[in-house]
Amino acid sequence: DGGITQSPKYLFRKEGQNVTLSCEQNLNHDAMYWYRQDPGQGLRLIYYSQIVNDFQKGDIAEGYSVSREKKESFPLTVTSAQKNPTAFYLCASHRRESPEAFFGQGTRLTVV
């Protein structure tokens, strides 16, 4: 079955640690996105990539990094520079010629 897979579903991070969230899609979509969702707020764009080996900062990129070495994969690293990383992280993708974005099931990151 085609879809977007995010892993892990739950992730715990200690203060000062970097953690990497995985996002894989087998939909042959060109564009991939990372959003952050906090209670009472809309989804906010962290990074996006429209082609392999190219990506751009979104509205809240500070403290995050990404890579796009393969079309299918767009991992997000939450670095120790991100001061408030506890949130629900969502990965999305779409085809270049179609604007409808489809989402993965999310990763809930908690700082302990």
Partner 1 sequence: EDQVTQSPEALRLQEGESSSLNCSYTVSGLRGLFWYRQDPGKGPEFLFTLYSAGEEKEKERLKATLTKKESFLHITAPKPEDSATYLCAVQGGGSNYKLTFGKGTLLTVNP
Would you tell me which residues interact with partner 1 (CB under 8 A)?
A: 4, 6, 31, 33, 35, 40-45, 48, 50, 56, 58, 90, 92, 94, 99-106, 108
CB of 60 to partner 1, least distance (A): 12
Contact 79, 65 (CB under 8 A): yes
What one-letter code names the amino acid at 19?
V
CB of 16 to partner 1, least distance (A): 27
Q: How far apart are the first and last CA of the chain?
A: 35
Instruction: Tell me the C-alpha distance between 40 and 26, whole Å.
Output: 31
CB of 9 to partner 1, least distance (A): 9
Three-class DSSP labels, 33-70: EEEEECCCCCCEEEEEEEECCEEEECCCCCCEEECCCE
Cβ nearer to partner 1, comparing 80 with 108: 108
CB of 58 to partner 1, least distance (A): 7
